Amino acid sequence: MQVVVLNGVNLDVLARRDAAVYGGLSLSELETRIYEWASELGCHVRCRQTNHEGEYVAWCHDAYEWADGVIVNPGAWSHYSYAIRDALELLEAPIVEVHLSNIDEREDWRKHSVLADLASKRVIGKGPDGYRDAIEFLVAQVGATS
């Protein structure tokens, strides 16, 4: 099973963001955990991060060809990027939307996600462990349909 994790804008400076909100890890530390969890769960994962919306869209297009599951945390783009939404809408693989913080309990503008209806599952407010939940869900989903 092949999974891609697409992290978006400002996740490269994760360690500088409020640890109480975002979990206190650097992106590198988060990716290390993701790779460990994927290995434990018997799947292969590729982590990617960009601050460039067009590159993020291109990675969504790339996932069409090979990914069995997609985990997305576009950051602030989640709330307004219809370009990313359109790119993800074409995927046949299940999508899990992950947010480190609980966006439902934050500013009003963060409560809306243009991706929510595309996601097979949403994991919000669980910090870094939300990525593990996402991987577990995809392993169960793909295993159930294979």
**What is the tens place of the pLDDT at every residue in 9-45?**
999 999 998 888 887 899 999 999 999 999 999 999 9
pLDDT by residue (tens digit) across 95-107?
Answer: 999 999 888 888 7
Whether the model pTM is above 0.85:
yes
Residue 22 annotated among the catalytic residues of the structure: yes
Alpha carbons 52 and 132: distance in angstroms, whole number: 25
pLDDT value of residue 13: 95
pLDDT surpasses 80 at 143: no
Q: Helices 82-89 and 53-66: crossing angle, nearest 10°?
A: 10
Quick check: 123 pLDDT over 90? yes
Contacts of 93 (CB under 8 A, 6+ apart): 63, 67, 68, 69, 70
Q: Does residue 112 carry a catalytic annotation?
A: no
Cα–Cα distance for residue pair 53/90, rounded to 1 Å = 17
| Of 44, 56, 64, 99, catalytic | 99
Catalytic residue among 22, 35, 61, 79: 22
Evaluate if residue 139 carries a pLDDT over 90. Answer: yes
DSSP 57: H
Query: For residue 18, with 0-12 CB atoms within 10 Å meaning exposed, 13-18 middle and 19 or more buried, which class applies?
Result: exposed
Q: What pLDDT was estimated at residue 146?
A: 44
Length of the chain, in residues: 146
Average of pLDDT values for 113-130?
96
Per-residue model confidence (pLDDT) at position 57 = 98
Please check the confidence at residue 132 and state whether its pLDDT lies above 60.
Answer: yes
What's the confidence (pLDDT) of residue 145?
47
Q: Determine the pLDDT at residue 72.
A: 98
